[in-house]
Structures are given as structure tokens and as C-alpha cells.
């Protein structure tokens, strides 16, 4: 009752705002652009509305669904005047699933949009010129020749609908599961694995998770595939250790999932949106599967981070290697090194690479991957980059290049300060978030010239864009 009353009060407050639109109103909107999530941006009497599914250059009818003081959200009803770049989405659940926001936009136009997103953030947040003389060069986005079936990992929530087990992806801005057995950006092996587990779990009567009541057993099915090796890992995320008919479940997965070499259970008893819990056990087969990026072989465990698009990852890492300018004599520091993917790539053309990562399991994987490839000119250490790197400085380690590949929140302020104090000749910034990239580059511009940025389309048909930036110390040769 209290929640309902609070919601009513919130709606009343929204209605009291002096806005040119009201909740539930149908409006005609000229769409002038797309935001970073791929929603159309339009204005009604100066008031900004975000319309999911609308494209730049279109005139649409939309229904106002949420309003705030300076902007609101509206649901697309009709396209009155369509963009010439509008495509028919091939996915049958595109209009319900929140996974891909740009399938309705022609792929070449998606690439141009992502380049523009990077430019807009550099100009607006970083204060960098991106056109004309002295501008930061933002190259055209490097796309895929075949931008489908690229994801090597599926994380599928499991639930119940009308008494039946369902699994798919969440609908836009909700926790409602859209049941599906095929996703057009997933590797087919992942689709097969997830569909098989859903069938088997339903047949064996394994209870699906109910996140509202916090009951049931099977929370998620995670499938991983080695794109080059064909090896498949199936991870069952459960609320408790005990799995009814466990041996029959394992035997059925082995029989029905082609290429499976690893079946793992992860136990997550918490009431949380976080997928994985702390306990992981191998039920059958290997603890890891293997895959390659270029010539480097990687062991991938149930919880280790590994880029989901192996084709574009090789493009991204080759560009990182190029920007590092390594010739075989350089000392390189890789901050946020994860399981050593970038570090081992850089080690091919560097004197020595030092990698730092705060997650101990990732560093264990990084050391294992170095040994797997017989790469000896790398050193990995666990800890915060802003603590470990100054300690390396005290030990006399002087990097020629520092590479950073931070999470979406960007670099820690202390790390940026450390980079400015260590003064490497080059900094290579690998980013998954153009806004935090621009913010951090603005700080580093105190000492460094931002030479160029290369966007890479790691996630076709979504609003996400990865990019690599080259920074050269002022006064140093490019």
C-alpha cells in the first residue's frame, strides 16, 4: 500500500510540473537525433522527449509515458515520415526485447552514429575540437563485414510464466523475461546450449527462480563458446548447492549440447540483480574452455571477463598495439589488465609488460594465460592500479607507454594523477564509454596531446561503442 501511495504522489508531482506535455498525451514529434542508447531525440515546444524506436529525420506519433523537469520518455505509436535509413529488424522479438536498440537502423548508418557519439562527447564533455585545424581526429567506426551472430557469451535469466519455465532477455526497462530460444547476435552454439538446458530443466522439474518471492532454484543459464575452438561451457546459476536429479541433468546436457566440454554450477543465494555468487564448482569436464585472439590462446573460466566479440576484439587490440608504438624495446604498463588479454598482445612487441588488476581471480587467469602461451616478458600484480603503479615507480620501473582499459565509470582520479606524475611518452586509452573517455582525456590533456581516436563497433545493433585513443606527451615525437 505504501509503495502504491508513493507512486501516486510521484505521478501527482509530475503532473503539477509546468510542462508542455502531460502523461498519456499523444504528440507528434520531429526526431532530430539519437542519444547514446539509440533512442530518438525530439522536442515539443522546447521540451526534450526520448522516443525508443524512432530515428533521426523522422516525424512520429508517440505517447508520453514518463516526465521529468527537463526531459521525458514517450512510446512510439506510428512513423508518419520514415527515415531513408530505416531497416526492417529481422529479429521477431525486437520490439519487446531490450537487448538491441538499433536493429531498425541501416548498419552503415549505425557506424556513422557511433562515430558522432564519440565526437559529441569529446566536444561537449572534454572541450576538444573535433572539426577543422588542430582537431582531434575521430576516425570512421570500424564495423563488421557480417554484424550478426558475434557474441560468444549468453547470460539468460530463467523465470516462470503461467506455470512454465521461461528464459530469454529482459524487456526494455523492466525485469519481465521475454521468452526466446534464438538471438540473432548470439553465436548459434550459445542458443543451442541455452535452449537445451531450458528443455531439460523443464522436463526434470527443476524449479525456475522467482525474483519477486526469492524462491526456486535455477536463476540463470550462462553459455560460453570458443569461437575458434568450438568448445562450449554451460554454467548453471542456482540459489543453493543441491540440484535435484543432478546426474540426469549433467548426462542430458552432455547428450544434447554439441561441443560441450565444461558444465559448471555457480551458487548465488542472495536477493540481488548480480548474476554470479561467490561459490563456483565444476560439475563435469574442464574448469575452463579455450579460445584465441590472434595468435594468443586464452583459458576462459566461468567468471573470468573475456571480450564477447572475438572478431572485433582482434581489431581493437591490433589498434591498441599500433598506438602503443611498441618496437621491442619499450616498457609498458597495462592498468585494468583483467585476465591479461591486452598485456599478452602487447608483450609480442615490447621489452616487458606490467599488468595490474584489482580482482585476484583475474590475475590468476592472467598468469595462467601467460604460461599457456610461453610468454615470459610479463609481470602481473593484484591491487588497485593507483596503488600498485606508484609502488612500481618507487622500484625504478619507468614505463614508455601506459595502457588503460577501465570499466564504464572510467579511470580512478588517483590513477590519472599517477599517469601525469610518471610521464610516459604515450598513453593508450581503451574505452567502452565515450562520456568517461572524454572526461578523463580532459584531465590528461594537461600534459598530453590527444592525437586521434578510433571507434570500433564491438556490439553491432546496440547503442554501445568502444574506442581507442592515442595520447602523446607534449614535445615528444608522434
Q: Would you call 86 helix, strand, or coil by DSSP? A: strand
312 assigned binding-site residue: no
Q: Find out whether 405 is annotated in a ligand binding site.
A: yes
The owner of cell 564491438 is 458
Rounded CA-CA distance 365/387 in Å is 21
Contact 139, 454 (CB under 8 A): yes
Strand 279-285 versus strand 260-267 pairing type: antiparallel
339, 313 Cβ separation under 8 angstroms: no
Please identify which of the residues 97, 100, 337, 432 carries the catalytic annotation. Answer: 432
The response to whether 16 counts as a known ligand-binding position is no
Cell of 5: 501511495
DSSP reduced 3-state for 69: coil
CA distance 169 to 97: 6
The answer to whether residue 432 is catalytic is yes
Cα 243 from Cα 238, distance rounded (Å): 8
Task: Report yes or no: 74 and 54 within 8 Å, Cβ to Cβ.
Answer: no
107-124 helix and 434-444 helix, angle to the nearest 10 degrees? 40
Is residue 377 classed exposed, middle or buried when 0-12, 13-18 and 19+ CB atoms within 10 A define those classes?
middle
Q: What does residue 431 show for φ and ψ, rounded to 5 degrees?
A: -130, 140
b or e along 99-110 (b: 16 or more beta carbons within 10 Å of the residue's beta carbon)?
Answer: bbbbbbbebebb
Is 307 labelled as part of a ligand binding site?
Answer: yes
As a whole number of angstroms, the distance between CA 122 and CA 163 comes to 50
**Polymer length in residues for the chain:** 478
Cα–Cα distance for residue pair 398/135, rounded to 1 Å = 30
Report whether 48 contacts 41 (CB < 8 A). Answer: yes
**Which residues does the annotation place in the binding site?**
307, 336, 357, 405
Residues forming the active site: 432
**Which residues does the annotation place in the binding site for S-adenosyl-L-methionine?**
307, 336, 357, 405
Amino acid at each position: 500500500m505504501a509503495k502504491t501511495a508513493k507512486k501516486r504522489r510521484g505521478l501527482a508531482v509530475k503532473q503539477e510540473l509546468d510542462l508542455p506535455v502531460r502523461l498519456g498525451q499523444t504528440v507528434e514529434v520531429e526526431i532530430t537525433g539519437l542519444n547514446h542508447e539509440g533512442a530518438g531525440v525530439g522536442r515539443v515546444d522546447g521540451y526534450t522527449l526520448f522516443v525508443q524506436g524512432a530515428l533521426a529525420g523522422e516525424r512520429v506519433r508517440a505517447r508520453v509515458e514518463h516526465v521529468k523537469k527537463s526531459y521525458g520518455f514517450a512510446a512510439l505509436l506510428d512513423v508518419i515520415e520514415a527515415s531513408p535509413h530505416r531497416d526492417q529488424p529481422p529479429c521477431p522479438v525486437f520490439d519487446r526485447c531490450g537487448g538491441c536498440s538499433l536493429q531498425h537502423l541501416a548498419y552503415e548508418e549505425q557506424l556513422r552514429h557511433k562515430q558522432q557519439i564519440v565526437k559529441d562527447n569529446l566536444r561537449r564533455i572534454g572541450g576538444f575540437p573535433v572539426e577543422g585545424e588542430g582537431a582531434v581526429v575521430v576516425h570512421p567506426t570500424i564495423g563488421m563485414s557480417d554484424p550478426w551472430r558475434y557474441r560468444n557469451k549468453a547470460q539468460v535469466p530463467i523465470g516462470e510464466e503461467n506455470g512454465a519455465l521461461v528464459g530469454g532477455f529482459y524487456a526494455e526497462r523492466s525485469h519481465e523475461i521475454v521468452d526466446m530460444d534464438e538471438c540473432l547476435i548470439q553465436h548459434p552454439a550459445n542458443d543451442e546450449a541455452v535452449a537445451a538446458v531450458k528443455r531439460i530443466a523443464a522436463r526434470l522439474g527443476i524449479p525456475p527462480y522467482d525474483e519477486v518471492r526469492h524462491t526456486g532454484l535455477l536463476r540463470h543459464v550462462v553459455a560460453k563458446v570458443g569461437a575458434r575452438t568450438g568448445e562450449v561451457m554451460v554454467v548453471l546459476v542456482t540459489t543453493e548447492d543441491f540440484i535435484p536429479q543432478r546426474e540426469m541433468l549433467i548426462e542430458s546436457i552432455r547428450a544434447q549440447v554439441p561441443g560441450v566440454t565444461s558444465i559448471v554450477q555457480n551458487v548465488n543465494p542472495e536477493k540481488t540483480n548480480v548474476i554470479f555468487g561467490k561459490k563456483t564448482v565444476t560439475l563435469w569436464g574442464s574448469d575452463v574452455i579455450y579460445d584465441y585472439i590472434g595468435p594468443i590462446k586464452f583459458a576462459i573460466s566461468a567468471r573470468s571477463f573475456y571480450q564477447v566479440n572475438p572478431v572485433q576484439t582482434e581489431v581493437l587490440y591490433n589498434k591498441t598495439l599500433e598506438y602503443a608504438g611498441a618496437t621491442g624495446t619499450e616498457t609498458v604498463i597495462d592498468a585494468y589488465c583483467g585476465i591479461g588479454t591486452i598485456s599478452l598482445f602487447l608483450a609480442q612487441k615490447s621489452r616487458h609488460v606490467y599488468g595490474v588488476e584489482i580482482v585476484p581471480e583475474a590475475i590468476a587467469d592472467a598468469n595462467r594465460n601467460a604460461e599457456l602461451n610461453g610468454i615470459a616478458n610479463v609481470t602481473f600484480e593484484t591491487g588497485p592500479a593507483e596503488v600498485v603503479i606508484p609502488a612500481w615507480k618507487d622500484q625504478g620501473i619507468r614505463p614508455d607507454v601506459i595502457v588503460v582499459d577501465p570499466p564504464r565509470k572510467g579511470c580512478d582520479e588517483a590513477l590519472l594523477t599517477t599517469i601525469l606524475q610518471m610521464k610516459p611518452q604515450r598513453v593508450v586509452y581503451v574505452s567502452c564509454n565515450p562520456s568517461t573517455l572524454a572526461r578523463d582525456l580532459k584531465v590528461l590533456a594537461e600534459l598530453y596531446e590527444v592525437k586521434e581516436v578510433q571507434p570500433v563497433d564491438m556490439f553491432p545493433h546496440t547503442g554501445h561503442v568502444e574506442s581507442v585513443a592515442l595520447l602523446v606527451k607534449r614535445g615528444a615525437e608522434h
